[in-house]
Structure 1
């Protein structure tokens, strides 16, 4: 990668979205030619930000206009008035607003963890799968406008929701961690994100700098801690219902699908990944050794797997 590419920074934009409690602004990071109508939409995990995709965006900005939103309640986006709206259906509605703004000829998708679930539901809603009520679509969202979805990458996530893995994440989502210096914030991210796999010191620094903000002389998490409330209140019955919806959406995805999996993942078990391949013949899977949840799409092999699939 050239020094000029290393130094390049994304442009910051925003789109106005609506929830049951009013309007909010969702920020997004944009790479590449703003006139390019071939868009790659990259959506991050539960407590992360759109800047997680800096490396893969730099690698693909010559082929795509790369858009990396900060999902509501995170990064540069507004926090929601009612924390009960920090749920996948709201995030899907926000993405529909963003898609309408982009006016793309084709949208390919990379979704890490939560970002994959959002993409799965969005695709299922747009497809209006047979057997779903046509006035309600997927998850009761109603019929989405035409979304020109193409190839989709699901990064360490699938339709089956592992309770143990979700519980591990829930343990730290609502923690109000505050640090006097940035080095301590880096150490915290390193300790809670071991599943990201091995990274050098610069890597951990970059994985921290966009998820902690300096406030009143301390480093604090970038997201609204209240997003843990609906996440922690999920019941086994609700998760089972969500799984049924997600599997149906998975089986009706519109185009080729790539599943990325950390071999040590506690969110996407190998058995679930195998079932995903069986239930969607357009899907294939690439695994990364020494990685859990989730591959960060920063290393050359991970970027190459994504690039080769999207540009095939």
Structure 2
């Protein structure tokens, strides 16, 4: 079911990679049921009650001079290139890397992601 619903996000995943991915985002609860293992309310601070998208842009503005890496999956249907470019306009030290053949969000294990993270760490070292 996960492969069926997310195959377009990671079209090159092997079965072994799907199993590894599932182990990262699911867990078994005390009653033996498999459940998603992340905060379903992760976006609430940025929803309309928390200030809407303006709150996100204000938060980004506060990072204006901070070395920042933006990783965007090439196949993302949630994070457009236009939004990424707008982020770059705000961030004086921002760098955008588009991870090929990945949707939203990159796993941070792709070679392009790892290379970009290493470059950021060298840049701020």
Alignment TM-score, normalising by the size of structure 1:
0.33
- Per the alignment, in what secondary structure is the counterpart of residue 311 of structure 1? helix
Tell whether 2:78 aligns with 1:267: yes
Q: 54, 58, 78: which is aligned to 1:248? A: 58
Decide which structure has the larger Cα Rg and report it.
Answer: 1
Tell whether 2:28 aligns with 1:213: yes
Tell whether 2:30 aligns with 1:189: no
- Is the 2:69–2:96 Cα contact (8 Å) retained in structure 1? yes
- 1:269 CA displacement: 0.8
Cα RMSD of the aligned pairs, angstroms, is: 2.9
- 1:262 CA displacement: 0.8
Please, which runs of 5 or more residues in structure 2 have no aligned partner?
Answer: none
Tell me how far apart the structure 2 counterparts of residues 272 and 285 of structure 1 sit (CA, whole Å). 11
* Structure (1 or 2) with the greater strand fraction: 1
**CA shift in 2, pair 1:266/1:206, >3 Å:** same
Within-5 A mapping of 1:71-90: none
**CA shift in 2, pair 1:215/1:189, >3 Å:** farther
**CA shift in 2, pair 1:207/1:247, >3 Å:** same
Alignment TM-score, normalising by the size of structure 2:
0.75
- CA offsets 1:3-55 (integer angstroms, 9 cap, x no match): xxxxxxxxxxxxxxxxxxxxxxxxxxxxxxxxxxxxxxxxxxxxxxxxxxxxx
Question: 4+ runs of 1 displaced by more than 4 Å?
Answer: none
Tell me how far apart the structure 2 counterparts of residues 278 and 250 of structure 1 sit (CA, whole Å). 11
- Per the alignment, in what secondary structure is the counterpart of residue 51 of structure 2? helix
Tell me how far apart the structure 1 counterparts of residues 42 and 66 of structure 2 sit (CA, whole Å). 30
Higher relative contact order at CA 8 Å, sep ≥6: structure 1 or structure 2? 2
- Is the 1:196–1:296 Cα contact (8 Å) retained in structure 2? no
**CA shift in 2, pair 1:284/1:239, >3 Å:** farther
Q: Which residue of 1 aligns with 2:109?
A: 298
- 1:200 CA displacement: 1.5
Please, which runs of 5 or more residues in structure 1 have no aligned partner?
Answer: 1-187
**CA shift in 2, pair 1:200/1:239, >3 Å:** farther
Tell me how far apart the structure 1 counterparts of residues 49 and 103 of structure 2 sit (CA, whole Å). 22
**CA shift in 2, pair 1:298/1:219, >3 Å:** farther
